[in-house]
Structure 1
Amino acid sequence: MKHDHISFKEYTMDNLSLPSNIADLIPRDHMAHVVHEMVERIPMETFLPYYKGGGTSAYHPKMMTKILLYAYTQKMYHGREIARQLEVHLPLMWLSGFQKPDFRSINRFRSERMKGLIDDLFREMITLLVADGYVKMEDYFVDGTKIEANANRYTFVWRKSAEKHQEKLQANVDRLIAQIEAIVENEKAEECEASPSWTSEEIRQKTKEWEERLETEPDNQALRKAVKTMKDDYLPRSEKYEHQLHVCQDRNSYSKTDVDATFMRLKEDHMRNGQLKPAYNVQAGSSDQFILGYSLHQRPGDTRCLLPHLETIREKYGVEPECLIADAAYGSEENYVKLEEKHISALIKYNTYEKENTRKVKRNPHHQQNWTYLEEEDVWICANGKKLVRTGTSKQTTESGYTSVTRHYQCHECEGCPFRSACTTSKYGRTTQWNPVYHEQKQKARERLESEEGQARYRQRKTDIESVFGQIKQNRGFRRFVLRGLQKVSIEWGLICAAHNLLKKAARDKQSSLVA
């Protein structure tokens, strides 16, 4: 068989001639160049406050920041993986200046140096993106998502369980102390007053008293047994329950392997059994799919996270939005009122917005929204022309101190009404409740949402902030934190957000070059 016309390009692995600049080997639109240029524009003064000086020379903060940001854009989230890639991945090697920090140095920089640095870094990047025209601060699309913690899913503490066990322990302590005091004082046990609550410190003091008494009464077997029970059983358990409730605070649970993580219901439910998992509630705001601010929370509900989130982004990143767009999870009375006080236009649906717009509710003559309210008499007029008079007022105060006032009304003329069976099932007559402040805020929200401009902005929410979470969780596979603890997890999410913005900038630059 002849091979006269076969030819190959010359190939040799010896005497390679490399370009004078290694950067020439990396395409100009490569992510490494985007990361390098952005970090180089950040003033060195941003990094210096987080170094004390003295001792062994540290790796340059800009170099460490570059390799971390680039690694996060390439779905490398673990320190060991980043260290391995520094041996073989050319763009990463170029960004590091061919230095090779080990995984301990990478993890130490991320966990310790980045504690305050990540906030300053993110703020500087947002400032540069705004200056370059990538981001506008007008609209702020906010939403939350739950990211699973790096914690065991099956080792947890429930606050109610700890409270129940603590209550049982208190009863046991009460009985034992009453019994011993009765023996010592030669009184009847039932005459001894029980303490409403014994703290671990009080149990320790009582045990000490008994030990001192035992020195003078060495043959008192009942007292000796009581001291042993208190020291070996009741005191450790009391300290344990107090510690658990202290860690829980106002949360319903926490994970034993990451005590800052709370058990929440996640959308990623592969077992389809509604299993709660240790997680953090991440709140983020975006504009044109660039993340402008973020905050992490330990409570599962989004409603009470909005105002703390806005306070965080104002203090840390200097973001004060003019218009805030969010879904119905944020539509509470307190949020509406506080946003109005801050002069922020809120395009937020309330939880009954969709229901009130249905044909069924609009045509239902027995729904409160179709009744007439007489302000002078403070009564509601039902479909049959009967009055619902005010019977009382209830107040509810949130943990932030906001008080909501609800009025209650009842009809005393339901007897013999032809609409009674369709209107109410109560044997006492139809009742309803009304919150004037919330009602007014809902009316304003409806007007904003139903305006042409409001509809266009609200439609944009799904393609803005929701797509951001989709890109992070689906495209880049970040569904579980690598680090543990609220502070370290906040650093990690900050790197994710910064990496997302750099990827978005690179995509926007590429799109602009194609159009040009």
Structure 2
Amino acid sequence: MSNFRQVDRETGFLLLPSVDEWLPERHLARFVVEVIERLDLSAMVKAYRGSGSASYHPSMLLGLLVYGYATGVFSCRQLERATYDSVAFRFIAANDHPDHDTIATFRRRFLREIEGLFVQVLMLAREAGVLKLGTVALDGTKVHANASRHSALSYEHASKLEAQLKAEIKELMALAEAADSADAPDGMSVPQELARREERLARIAEAKAKIEARAKERFAREQADHEAKMRARAEKARKTGRKPGGRPPQPPTAGPGAKDQVNLTDEDSRIMPGPGGGFEQAYNAQAAVATGSLLVVANDVVQAANDKEQIAPTLAALAALPEALGKPEAMLADTGYFSNANVTACAAAKIAPLIALGRERHNLSWQDRFAKAPPAPDNPTPLKAMAHRLASPEGRQLYALRKQTPEPVFGIIKSVMGFRQFSLRGLEKVKGEWNLVTMAWNVKPMFALAPA
């Protein structure tokens, strides 16, 4: 005869249950609650008026978001459902169940305050001995926007649609004037059709205006670059007394191009090349990661697919960190970040740059791998000093940390945590959400590295 434990779903609890007994002593949900209890949430608390019905405490709502993003639950509806289905979420919510509208409103409302909490979490990591700001590695990854690339409207197609809609409005106006003598199709309302086309015309005009504004800004930047190049050619000709070789740079073209476009769902997002080929509607998410702990110490989201202009903002973000966190000594980055200006900016910030001068060769021979460093140049420029550092065995060994620092972080965020697309729209909101994602990521290695 089989011997089974009794399955009884009817008998009630003899004593009232405690949510504290539902989780193991060492659990990520407990750690998230402990971390948030040590954060200064006074700015959030003061934002509530204190009148009307009692509100959920910011610490509880923030805990749901941080644990949700750390475990791959990003939708506010899924977070609400998890407070019923998941023991860990029940523990964080203290057996309460805030609805999805409350969670969504809290997330949108306090994105700016969460940015400050990101630094506070880093301070806790420093106090725990987890974080040491020695060498940081900078990289970027494309994250899908909450919009489809098929919702993008090009300037050329917008102009064609505009002409088509104006012609249709003219036809409908003629049909309305001849309504007594001509039969309109069954079920067709001329006023409704006119209103629909006028609304579409207004949206197209708005989209074209945005494309034209972007083109104007781009032309101003390109014109400034063109003038700088022409001045450099003229200065070179003056010094050498000879006409510079090569063709002179072509001046930029004013006005929008035919393929300039705007996305009607999220106008701040951009079409960017995807990692596996093709293009996607995305943002470029940046992260500076500490090599020793894999904690993200600075983050940003930009609209440019190219990483060339992201060194200076990252240096500014690192400089703004509290002195108690320490100061980075070196910065690693791939060739997408390389420029003479970026190397000079790192040297000016007293951070040793290790930025690849070009694409790395694969399958190096043992002679190349163990080759001695060339002699150090006399009075080197920042660029020459970095090139010598990269050629030395110590520099090659340090630069080798680049691949194993930010790339695993992005891989875990995307594949393990499951964050592949932003939930919010608009550049500022997306920046706030990426800040929340990286803060949730930081909690995970802090929990793993914390003593039992």
TM-score scaled by length of structure 1: 0.63
Report Cα offsets for 1:337-378 as digits up to 9, x if no partner: 1111111111111236759x99xxxxxxxxxxxxxxxxxxxx
CA contact (8 A) 1:79 1:107 kept: yes
> Measured at CA, do residues 107 and 441 of structure 1 come closer, stay the same or move farther in structure 2, by a change above 3 Å?
same
> What is the rounded CA distance, in whole Å, between the counterparts of 1:31 and 1:237 in structure 2?
49
Question: Do residues 150 (structure 1) and 146 (structure 2) align?
Answer: yes
> Measured at CA, do residues 239 and 22 of structure 1 come closer, stay the same or move farther in structure 2, by a change above 3 Å?
closer
Shift of 1:80: 0.6
> What is the rounded CA distance, in whole Å, between the counterparts of 2:40 and 2:108 in structure 1?
22
> Measured at CA, do residues 96 and 317 of structure 1 come closer, stay the same or move farther in structure 2, by a change above 3 Å?
farther
Q: For 2:353, give the aligned amino acid.
A: A
Q: Give percent identity, aligned residues only.
A: 27
CA contact (8 A) 2:152 2:263 kept: yes
Shift of 1:506: 2.1
Residues 35-54 of structure 1 aligned to structure 2 (within 5 Å) = 35-48=32-45, 50-54=47-51
Q: For 2:143, give the aligned amino acid.
A: I
Aligned to 1:117: 113
Which has the larger Rg? 1
> Measured at CA, do residues 455 and 94 of structure 1 come closer, stay the same or move farther in structure 2, by a change above 3 Å?
same
Aligned to 1:286: 289
CA contact (8 A) 1:328 1:349 kept: yes
CA contact (8 A) 2:266 2:426 kept: yes
Aligned to 1:310: 315
Secondary structure (helix, strand or coil) at the match of 2:386 reads helix
C-alpha RMSD of matched pairs (Å): 3.3
> What is the rounded CA distance, in whole Å, between the counterparts of 2:202 and 2:81 in structure 1?
49
Shift of 1:20: 5.6
Aligned to 1:335: 342
Shift of 1:105: 0.6
Of stretches 235-244 and 124-133 in structure 1, the one that deviates more from structure 2 is: 235-244
Aligned to 1:22: 19
Q: For 2:265, give the aligned amino acid.
A: T
Match of 1:447 among 368, 388, 392: 388
Aligned to 1:101: 98
Match of 2:64 among 62, 67, 70: 67
> Measured at CA, do residues 455 and 107 of structure 1 come closer, stay the same or move farther in structure 2, by a change above 3 Å?
same
Aligned to 2:431: 490
Report Cα offsets for 1:32-79 as digits up to 9, x if no partner: 111011101112335335445544432100000001111112211101
CA contact (8 A) 1:35 1:66 kept: yes
> What is the rounded CA distance, in whole Å, between the counterparts of 2:439 and 2:102 in structure 1?
21
CA contact (8 A) 2:134 2:329 kept: yes
Q: Report the number of matched residues.
A: 357
- Which runs of no fewer than 5 residues in structure 1 stay unpaired? 170-230, 359-436
Shift of 1:8: 2.8
Aligned to 2:368: none
CA contact (8 A) 2:207 2:264 kept: no
Shift of 1:302: 0.5
Aligned to 1:300: 305
Shift of 1:456: 2.2
Report Cα offsets for 1:458-512 as digits up to 9, x if no partner: 1111111111011111222211112111122122212211111111122223xx5
Q: For 2:449, give the aligned amino acid.
A: R
Shift of 1:332: 0.5
Question: Do residues 501 (structure 1) and 429 (structure 2) align?
Answer: no
CA contact (8 A) 2:288 2:299 kept: yes
Q: For 1:242, give the aligned amino acid.
A: A
> What is the rounded CA distance, in whole Å, between the counterparts of 1:156 and 1:81 in structure 2?
29
CA contact (8 A) 2:39 2:120 kept: yes
> Measured at CA, do residues 236 and 278 of structure 1 come closer, stay the same or move farther in structure 2, by a change above 3 Å?
closer
CA contact (8 A) 2:142 2:274 kept: yes
Shift of 1:152: 1.8
Match of 2:31 among 31, 34, 47: 34
Shift of 1:452: 3.3
Q: For 2:266, give the aligned amino acid.
A: D
> What is the rounded CA distance, in whole Å, between the counterparts of 2:53 and 2:213 in structure 1?
40
Report Cα offsets for 1:395-432 as digits up to 9, x if no partner: xxxxxxxxxxxxxxxxxxxxxxxxxxxxxxxxxxxxxx
CA contact (8 A) 1:286 1:292 kept: yes
> What is the rounded CA distance, in whole Å, between the counterparts of 2:200 and 2:23 in structure 1?
66
Report Cα offsets for 1:190-215 as digits up to 9, x if no partner: xxxxxxxxxxxxxxxxxxxxxxxxxx
Secondary structure (helix, strand or coil) at the match of 1:87 reads helix
Determine which structure has greater relative contact order: mean sequence separation of CA pairs < 8 Å that are 6+ residues apart, divided by chain length.
Answer: 2
> What is the rounded CA distance, in whole Å, between the counterparts of 1:250 and 1:124 in structure 2?
38
Aligned to 2:209: 242
CA contact (8 A) 1:140 1:323 kept: yes
Shift of 1:294: 0.4
Residues 246-285 of structure 1 aligned to structure 2 (within 5 Å) = 246=213, 249-250=217-218, 253-269=261-277, 274=278, 276-285=279-288
Question: Do residues 349 (structure 1) and 356 (structure 2) align?
Answer: yes
CA contact (8 A) 2:284 2:301 kept: yes
> What is the rounded CA distance, in whole Å, between the counterparts of 1:299 and 1:132 in structure 2?
36
